[in-house]
Amino acid sequence: MLTVLFAASDANWAEYAAPLRHAFAESGLDATLTREADPQAVDYIVYAPSSPLQDFAPYTRCKAVLSLWAGVERIVGNPTLTQPLCRMVDPALTEGMVEWVVGHTLRHHLGMDRHIVNPSRLWDPTCPPLARERPVAMLGMGELGLACARALAALNFPVTGWSRTPKQGTGIPCLHGQAGLEQALRTAQIVVTLLPKTPDTENTLNARSLALLPQGAVILNPGRGALIDDEALLAALDAGHIGHATLDVFRTEPLPQDHPFWTHPRVTVTPHIAADTRAPSASRVIAANIRRGEAGEPFLNRVDRTRGY
Ligand code: NDP
Ligand code: OXD
């Protein structure tokens, strides 16, 4: 009998206890899911940042820590964590992110606000260009970025990806390195940031890189707040160089009430809802990884701690 410790908030427990138990049974795992256990008896830890668990050292038998979150910046640097760490790759989370990115891209591409909020009843028959005339830069071409890039490309947006390592064979042209970033930004009218937060990605969009964008470009950030230098973004918005920023993630969450993003006319704030991990599908992913661990197979979605993601 395996012992699986659930280290996450009460709300997470209410959402996940039944789907996890169901997924364990479905996978033929003989496992007890619990919120309290002798650390030395724990085989796997299901973890979310809402958990108070910070010291992983006593969990000497634990074979893996399985994150409910895709982004692992709040646990990856924990010096007590010596067990393998796996991040969440959930097909339903990916689906949600594609919907958020496509929806907000189309809002800006079609200029929907002009007609939805039109108190002076202005009859403005200006038509937007076609998607094929609206280049998009997708910063981050991993699980989420690639799915979003493909969805936008299917609508004819010319999408250029950017990743840490060279990437071919995805059907989307992809650049890498500093020169690649600069090339992607120079023509992008819409930029989507789906990078993990690591020391290398902090302030990827800063005064210098924002200045490379064409006048009026739009930023969508469902990645992490730290990918953008807030002050530089506000200055570029004030100057009209950046047309709009739709931001889902922030350096401090919830976004403080007095933060200028709340009231800026060119900023849309969404409260970290771009893509939620969905309990039924995520539980199947967790069960599959435990089954792999028990079969001596390599874990899926294992985090590389030196890279930080
Ligand atoms: P992945 O790990 O699958 O992909 C990360 C991508 O970023 C890869 O393409 C990687 O390049 C690239 N990358 C990493 N470091 C650099 C760098 N220094 N320079 C250029 N590219 C870099 O992550 P996911 O796609 O699953 O998730 C991305 C992020 O989305 C998460 O880390 C999280 O922060 C955020 N997220 C937000 C949610 C929300 O609701 N707002 C929900 C879920 C996730 P390479 O391919 O070469 O490795
Ligand atoms: C995640 C998130 O990383 O929701 O899963 O941001």
Nearest-angstrom CA–CA distance, 189 and 53: 43
User: pTM to 2 decimals?
Assistant: 0.98
Query: Is the same domain home to 104 and 200?
Result: yes
CATH assignment at residue 204:
3.40.50.720
Do 107 and 161 share a domain, yes or no?
yes
Domain-located, residue 199: yes
Instruction: Look at residue 71 and tell me if it is in a domain.
Output: yes
In terms of residue numbers, what domain contains 51?
2-90+277-295
Cis peptide before 254 (omega within 30 of 0): yes
206 and 66 inside one domain: no
Q: Which helix (H) or strand (E) holds 45?
A: strand 44-47
The residues pairing with 247 across neighbouring beta strands, listed in sequence order, are: 221, 269
Q: Are residues 122 and 68 in the same domain?
A: no
| Nearest ligand 1 atom to alpha carbon 72 | 32
Residue 246 Cα distances to 6, 14, 108, angstroms:
34, 31, 10
SS3 178: helix
Same-domain status, 48 and 99: no
Please indicate whether residue 108 is annotated as part of the active site: no
Query: Do 198 and 73 touch, CB atoms closer than 8 A?
Result: yes
Asked whether residue 123 falls in the same domain as residue 216, the answer is yes
- Residue ID of nearest Cα to ligand 1 atom 42: 275
Residue 70 identity: A
Q: Which residues of the chain fall below pLDDT 70?
A: none
Return d(Cα 232, Cα 170) in angstroms, integer. 33
Q: How far is the CA of 56 from the centre of ligand 2 (A)?
A: 21
Select which of 272, 278, 292, 305 is catalytic.
Answer: 272
User: Looking at residue 41, what DSSP letter applies?
Assistant: G
Return all residues near 134 (Cβ < 8 A) that are at least 6 apart. Answer: 109, 157, 158, 189, 190
Structural domain contains residue 169: yes
165 CB under 6 A from ligand 1? yes
Which among 292, 296, 252, 297 is positioned nearest to 271, based on CA atoms?
252
Asked, for residue 66, whether it belongs to a domain, the answer is yes
Ligand 2 — pocket residues by CB below 6 A? 69-71, 88, 277
pLDDT tens by residue, 199-220: 999 999 999 999 999 999 999 9
Burial code (b: 16+ CB inside 10 Å, e: under 16) for 147-185 equals bbbebbbebebbbbbbbbeebeeeebebbbeeebbebbb
Is 35 a known active-site residue? Answer: no
> How many Cβ atoms sit within 10 Å of the Cβ of residue 294?
16
The rounded Å distance from CA 145 to ligand 1 centre is 7
Domains held by the chain: number: 2
Ligand 1 center–CA 194 separation, angstroms: 5
Tokens of 135: 């280049």
Nearest ligand to the CA atom of 224: 1
Chain centroid to CA 123: how far? 38
Other CB atoms within a 10 A radius of the CB of residue 104 amount to 21
Q: Sign (positive/negative) of CA torsion 53, 41, 308, 277? A: negative
